[in-house]
């Protein structure tokens, strides 16, 4: 399926070469996928001598999924088809009562998303394969309750059970950076790339790792929690040796701008401040770029990616100001004359 999503359409022989499977295995899989309505054949194509080959493509309406993002003060849903096209986006602010009240708002948003999709895709409910949940990590660490930057109440809440009971769907959980990397791999800047690091800058900071074409989760699902890296102490700072996400995150920018992160107008206000190059925004960018430049050099040294992708919940003006401030990047093993992709790019 991923090979077809990447290439658009392939013959059985092409699929065998792309997946390193035998032609017989590919034929069996294609037959099963075709019977399930997930792939369809196209008109036969003749390439040179020999018998014409039949290419296959994914059927967009063959399967649907809902993605759910839970952040500190807001929750969002998207619905996608089999090729990754986004069919709907919705969001609501979370109530202030914690997960007990928040889960009801989330279930209502999911139900609204499902009802709206059925009106445009009547087969949606019959071909809805599951619910993917993204929320900030790290998960299951002993120090989570001691750090107000983490969503400790949500992480100790039986979220997956409640969502499964409330929706009747198969529910899977990823941290938000890993989910962003998955999206970049499917339809974004990492499409067609086997080795990439997606640096996700949202309320906190994390990284999703695409290694050998697959998402790497680590032993406990916490791989890429770069926001937990301890920063270098600064003279006169009261947050010496604090996690770097205390300096590189939307939360730290909100603190500098004296904006409540729960403000429903948050991104418009940040966008306006960045657009006017507010001194407080530029100070935050300078500090964030200083820390993030070293982090990027470290990621390049450890993982040797083809590219690093900066993505997340930033207004475009802010994202462009930050990526400009990150250049020139620090020297690293990623410096090569012949590169097919940039060392750093926006997602």
Whether pLDDT at 238 is above 60: no
Residue 161 above 60 pLDDT? yes
- CATH T-level assignment (fold) for domain 61-169: Nucleotidyltransferase; domain 5 (3.30.420)
pLDDT band at 293 (very low <50, low <70, confident <90, very high): very high
Domain 2-58 has CATH 1.10.10.10: yes
- pLDDT tens for 31-57 read 999 999 999 999 888 776 667 889 999
Bond into 339 cis (ω within 30):
no
Question: Start-end ranges of CATH 1.10.10.10 in the chain?
Answer: 2-58
Between these two residues, 299 and 146, which has the higher pLDDT value?
Answer: 299
Q: CATH 3.30.420.40 spans which residues of the chain?
A: 61-169, 189-346
| CATH 3.20.190.10, domain 189-346, yes or no | no
């Amino acid at each position: 399926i991923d090979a077809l999503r990447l290439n658009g359409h392939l013959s059985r022989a092409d699929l065998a070469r792309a997946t390193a499977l035998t032609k017989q295995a590919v034929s069996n899989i294609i037959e099963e996928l075709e019977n399930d309505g997930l792939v369809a054949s196209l008109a036969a194509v003749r390439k040179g001598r020999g018998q014409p080959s039949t290419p296959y493509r994914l059927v967009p309406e063959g399967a649907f999924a809902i993605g759910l993002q839970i952040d500190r003060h807001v929750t969002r849903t998207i619905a996608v088809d089999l090729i990754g096209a986004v069919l709907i986006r919705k969001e609501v602010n979370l109530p202030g009562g914690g997960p007990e009240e928040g889960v009801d708002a989330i279930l209502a948003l999911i139900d609204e998303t499902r009802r709206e999709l059925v009106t445009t895709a009547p087969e949606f409910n019959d071909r809805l394969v599951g619910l993917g949940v993204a929320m900030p990590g790290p998960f299951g660490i002993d120090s989570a309750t001691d750090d107000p930057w983490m969503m400790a109440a949500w992480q100790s809440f039986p979220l997956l059970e409640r969502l499964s009971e409330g929706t009747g769907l198969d529910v899977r959980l990823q941290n938000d950076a890993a989910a962003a990397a998955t999206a970049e791999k499917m339809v974004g800047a990492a499409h067609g790339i086997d080795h990439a690091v997606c640096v996700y800058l949202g309320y906190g900071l994390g990284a999703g790792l695409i290694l050998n074409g697959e998402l790497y989760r680590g032993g406990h699902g916490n791989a890429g929690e770069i926001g937990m890296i301890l920063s270098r102490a600064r003279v006169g700072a009261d947050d010496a040796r604090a996690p770097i996400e205390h300096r590189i995150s939307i939360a730290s920018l909100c603190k500098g701008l004296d904006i409540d992160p729960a403000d429903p107008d948050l991104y418009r206000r940040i966008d306006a401040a960045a657009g006017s190059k507010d001194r407080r925004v530029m100070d935050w960018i300078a500090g964030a770029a200083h820390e993030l430049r070293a982090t990027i050099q470290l990621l390049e040294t450890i993982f040797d990616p083809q590219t690093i992708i900066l993505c997340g919940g930033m207004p475009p003006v802010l994202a462009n100001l930050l990526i400009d401030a990150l250049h020139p990047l620090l020297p690293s093993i990623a410096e090569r004359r012949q590169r097919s992709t940039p060392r750093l790019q926006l997602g």
